[in-house]
Amino acid sequence: MTRFLLLAVVALTAVSAQAQKAELTFGVSGLCGMCENRIEAAFDQKGIVAADYNLETKKLHVVYKAKKWNEESLHKLATAIGHDTEKHKATDEAYANIHGCCKYRDHQSCSGHDHDHDHDDHR
Ligand SMILES: [Cu+2]
């Protein structure tokens, strides 16, 4: 019995030491599915376990390793690709780089002229 308990403790310790995961949900500006893909792609990084952008609530949920990332650096991943977060603003340069129909600051949307997308070679 004692032996089993000891084993369980050792196993538990190993799991928690291996990766201290943290979660964060914060607001990120976005308009359409392209924004969603762009934002999630930007969070495809080492130490980020999962990133899910909800277009309806405009919130991004991130599961990350607390050793590698923090709130500040996560927000900056979004602003680096031109998307404002609830705490940080993207630079005008970064904002200018996003697709024309994703200009959330101007309240335009992609709907209605989706056929334009095929001719764009934005990555
Ligand atoms: Cu978009």
Whether 9 is in a domain gets the answer: no
pLDDT tens per residue, range 78-108:
999 999 999 999 999 999 999 998 999 987 6
Range in 7-16, 34-43, 93-102, 107-116 the model is least confident about: 107-116
36 CA from centroid of ligand 1 (Å): 7
101 CA from centroid of ligand 1 (Å): 6
38 CA from centroid of ligand 1 (Å): 8
- SS3 annotation, the chain: CHHHHHHHHHHHHHHHHHCCEEEEEEEECCCCHHHHHHHHHHCCCCCEEEEEEECCCCEEEEEEECCCCCHHHHHHHHHHCCCCECCCCCCHHHHHHCCHHHCHHHCCCCCCCHHHHHHCCCC
Whether 12 is in a domain gets the answer: no
pTM: 0.75
Q: What CATH number did the domain enclosing 44 receive? A: 3.30.70.100
